[in-house]
Chain A
């Protein structure tokens, strides 16, 4: 997943995560789907819902709403995104579609987002209508032990 260029126009999949409008760069998105059966995993962070099967492969499920806001939101879709070694299922709200969006890096006016989370997740900030829009990076915040657990489960499977 590359960094968003300043004033770049990006094609992204726009969705809602609780009260937030978010977007994934389209090149990181694999597909969208309805929420699948998810098995919870012990010892994982709260935003990790568990494991599900995507295209025959076990994949972790990350609750984007909880990840970004810390709140529990309603899950409408799973968005499969590429995340380095595999595919991650992101549990989101309604998927609004593929849009061309104008984003800026989270510097400057968006310096307030320059926290630990924003640096790992948000690659740019734009708007959709009158609402702010967060362009998310690829899911790199997934801990390694999650992937390992996922790999272990897949090996067992």
Chain B
């Protein structure tokens, strides 16, 4: 019926049944005890109130008789008043008994006692009046024996009958209560036996299931504990290795942190240098523009120089042409002068004079030719210098052009450098920022590595504790198997 249920549910169900039976037993026991207590209360009440009241009636009546006898002997008001007070107390007791008695026979007897007391009071009052009037003791004794005594005996007899009746009633109640108590005890014993049987059955079932299921579970726990112990041992070794590795990592990260800080400082210096470089490059950019304008002016001046030199060359060539003409004329003059000298030499004295003039003309022509030759040489020198200058200027112009191109290339390169310097500056700033972030990250990693190392040590200690706990659990499992009766040795 309980197959398929867990052991805990079975245990709960068994305990619940046992508790139900126990509660039922307790309820029945409480009910029985209450029943017995009520019975006993009634018995005790009957014994204390009714029986004591009945006996109190007799005692009060005897007290009144003693006070009446005192009066009859001494004739004092003290006794008469006491007798009157006794009667009042007697009547109050009768009233109380009437309220407490339940038995009709006893109530009837109480009625008769009240009637007899009334009769006796009437008779004794007369006797006491005679004694107060002066009657002697003898006369009083006769009157008492004749009138009051039978009534007193009747009353005493009724009182004895009431006491006996109340006693019998108390005894009956006691026996009834005893029989009820016995019944309650029997019922409680029955329920107790039933609860015990149920508990035994539950315990047997639970014990059987405990051996069967809990034993298997404990066996599993034992094997699992062994595995856990082995795993904990491995975890101890791993945690120890991890702790040492994390210690090395922490040391390395500390060195890395120092390196990162140094890199950050270097990056900051590089950033400053890059900013200076960028500023210098921007200043150099304006210088480049000025230099380009200067080079353009130089190129223009060089072109003008070339033009002037070419013009000078042309003029020199024209001068050369003139000089050639002069030279030609001088040569012709020389030839003509020589020929004139030759012709004049055959013309007598006048010819000799003409020859002198012709010789002078020849000398002038020679000087002219020599000067023309010198001028020609000078012009050639000038032309050579002009050509050299033009060539040099052309070379210079080409050099200026080449320089301008190279300068443009240099300018482009410089502007590229400026751009790269700016990019480098940005990159350096990013590097600086990244390095700072890296430093912060490395610091966080360092803290985390420290925490991890600490956690590793704690894990190692926890693993040691786990190992000890697993070993203890294995031992406890063995003990538990012994306890549940499934131990294997």
Contact = CB atoms under 8 A, between A and B. Distances in A.
B355 interface: yes
Contact of A27 (B334, B346, B363): B346
B335 A33 contact: yes
The residue among B331, B338, B345 with the most chain A CB atoms within 10 A of its own CB is B338
B345 A97 contact: no
B474 to A, nearest CB: 135
Contacts of A30: 342
A149 interface: no
B338 A32 contact: yes
Tell me whether chain B's interface is mostly helix, strand or loop, or mixed.
helix
Contacts of B346: 27
Contacts of B342: 13, 26, 29-32, 98
Interface in A79-108: 95, 97-98
Contacts of B363: 97
Given A11-B345, A27-B346, A97 B335 contact: no
Given A97-B359, A98-B355, A98-B359, A26 B338 contact: no
Tell me whether chain A's interface is mostly helix, strand or loop, or mixed.
strand
A55 interface: no
Interface string A10-43: 0101000000000000110111111000000000
B364 to A, nearest CB: 12
A29 B340 CA distance: 12
A34 B335 contact: yes
Interface string B308-336: 00000000000000000000000100110
B341 interface: yes
A13 B366 CA distance: 16
Interface residues of B, number: 14
Interface residues of A, number: 14
Nearest to B366: A97
B457 interface: no
A32 B365 CA distance: 15
A11 B366 CA distance: 20
A31 B339 contact: yes
B335 A32 contact: yes
Contacts of B211: none
Contact of B341 (A33, A34, A98): A98
A95 B345 contact: no
A138 to B, nearest CB: 15
B40 interface: no
Contact of A26 (B331, B334, B335, B345): B345
B174 interface: no
Interface in A104-119: none
B362 interface: yes
A30 B338 CA distance: 11
B341 A97 contact: yes
Interface string A112-153: 000000000000000000000000000000000000000000
Nearest to A33: B335
Nearest to B339: A31
Interface string B353-373: 001000100110010000000
Interface of A: 11, 13, 26-27, 29-34, 77, 95, 97-98
15 contacts: A11-B345, A13-B338, A26-B345, A32-B339, A32-B342, A34-B335, A77-B335, A95-B334, A95-B338, A97-B338, A97-B359, A97-B363, A97-B366, A98-B341, A98-B342
Given A32-B338, A95-B335, A98-B342, 11 more contacts: A13-B338, A26-B345, A27-B345, A33-B335, A34-B335, A77-B335, A97-B338, A97-B366, A98-B341, A98-B345, A98-B355
